[in-house]
Structure 1
Amino acid sequence: MTTIRNASLIGLAALAISMARAADNQAVKKDMAQLQGEWSMVSGSADGYAMPDAMLKNSKRVCKEDETTVTVGGQLFMKAKFVLDPSKKPKTIDYQMIDGPTKGKKQLGIYELAGDTVKFCFGSPGADRPSAFTNSPGDGRTLSLWKRAKKPESAQK
């Protein structure tokens, strides 16, 4: 009897883990789909200092699948592969830089999606992940708010 009960408990535990992974997978897919397309920077700060208006006005982010590219005035600022974990609080994002000045480095951040806006806070490459959407002079963090400029063509149909 004990063997049957133990087998049942193991089976239930495996089912619970499987269901949790499926839910996490769905959350990743949902957030990944929401990030796709073109975004314009609304506000931003680095090391606690506001980014210049010219930079805000000329910054564009394009997300396609698991890659994001940021340009400023048409010039490449950074390109990264990213991995999301929406099960964390706050949600986490990991960049692996594939082009730009920090190519080859990893950058850890947090994100928050709300309709057609997304907020990011990243530590500098190699630094610890921020735990809040804040930055201050000398902490090496960047904080940015982006508004959807254009949905991907597949979502417009």
Structure 2
Amino acid sequence: MEVWSNMHWRFLSTAMLALVSLAFTTTTTRADDIKEIEGTWRAAAAKAGGKPVESEDLQKLVVTIAGDHYTAQTKDGTEAGTLKLDETQKPRTMDATRTEGFEAGKVIKAVYEITGDTLRVCYALDGGERPTELATKDGAPWLLITYQRAK
């Protein structure tokens, strides 16, 4: 929980930006993943430091992905950026680059998994090394968000 409080909401908005960017700018891509990721996603759950993150602000997080661009609606406003993904990696990787909003130009490294209407993304919130799995650990500056497709 301390990891979450240290990173606060500016990283949550970064995470959303990364999600959108992931969808459409790819180094190696399959049309199936791109088709599956496009659309609007709502945060359903999150973990940091190996523990659940409970927050009303998280429930307000909405990410829309169109092409290689994403838009993230957070409690603090709107952020936007581009995504780059690599489906050849295990787990699959994503880089989200903010083009608007707080910390424009910043790249957030992440790993992801999409299954039907569920998208899980684990972000390196500190701008450091990419997570190696879709999980968080005590002391690791990673945020795992589970998104559900908006109906």
- Structure-2-length-normalised TM-score: 0.72
Find the aligned partners of 2:28 and 2:102 in 1 and give their Cα distance.
33
**Could you say which residue in structure 1 is the equivalent of 2:134?**
133
Classify the secondary structure of the residue corresponding to 1:30.
helix
Name 1:149's counterpart in structure 2. Answer: 150
The 5-angstrom pairing of residues 1-157 of structure 1 reads 27-73=29-75, 75-76=77-78, 78-150=79-151
Q: CA deviation at 1:26?
A: 7.9
Q: With CA pairs under 8 Å and 6+ residues apart, which has the higher RCO, 1 or 2? A: 2
Q: Give distance in 2, aligned partners of 1:141 and 1:73.
A: 20
> What is the TM-score when the length of structure 1 is the normalising length?
0.70
Give the Å deviation of 1:58. Answer: 1.1
- The Cα RMSD (Å) is 2.3
Which ranges of structure 1 fall in alignment gaps of 5 or more residues?
Answer: 1-23, 151-157
Moved more, 65-74 or 124-133: 65-74
Structure-2 separation of matches of 1:25 and 1:120: 18
Q: How many pairs are equivalent?
A: 126
More helix by share: 1
Name the CA shift for 1:50/1:102 in 2 (closer, same or farther; >3 Å).
Answer: farther
- Given the superposition, is the C-alpha separation of residues 126 and 73 from structure 1 closer, same or farther in structure 2, using an over 3 Å criterion? closer
Structure having the higher Rg: 1
* 1:100-138 per-position Cα deviation (integer Å, ceiling 9, x unaligned): 323211111110000011000011253111111122344
- Segments of structure 2 that go 5 or more residues without pairing to the other structure are 1-25
What percentage of residue pairs aligned between the two structures are identical?
25
Question: Could you tell me how far apart the structure 1 residues matched to 2:102 and 2:90 are?
Answer: 30
The code of the aligned residue for 1:61 comes to V
Contact kept in structure 2, 1:36 and 1:63, CA below 8 Å: yes
